[in-house]
Amino acid sequence: MMEDRPWLTYFLVHDFGISGTRIEGQMYDPFAYMKGDPFSDWDSNREKIMTWLTERNIRLLVFPSSKANYQKMVTQEPAIFQHEMSIAEGYFEIYRVTSNEISPN
């Protein structure tokens, strides 16, 4: 979660009923540890993303629409990410993570 957008945290807590202790900060981004284009070796990098989602029990992704790696990831894995809504005039995207499809392999 972006630390400079407290209204977004309040929105998620109020409208989605998410406890503040369940919100993952932006300080860890799995794409930050991948070299080059993460989608050129998607088989290997997909496993890292799926492990991240599973280990951290991530069920909802909220990210700026301009975040290209996340946009491509949700497009590449439509069985895993279900678009919930766009907010703030399309500046942020909210995707639900469907747990029944997450598999590192």
Does 17 map to a domain?
yes
Count of the separate structural domains present in the chain: 1
Quote the pTM value: 0.78
- pLDDT: which is higher, 21 or 47: 47
Identity (one letter) of the amino acid at 65? S
Does 51 map to a domain?
yes
- At 69 the pLDDT is 95
Q: Which domain covers residue 14, as residue numbers? A: 6-101
pLDDT digits (tens, 9 = 90+) for 39-82: 999 999 999 999 989 988 888 898 999 999 999 999 999 999 99
Instruction: With cut-offs at 50, 70 and 90, classify the pLDDT of residue 2.
Output: low
- At 19 the pLDDT is 78
Which residues partner with 85 through β-bridges? 94
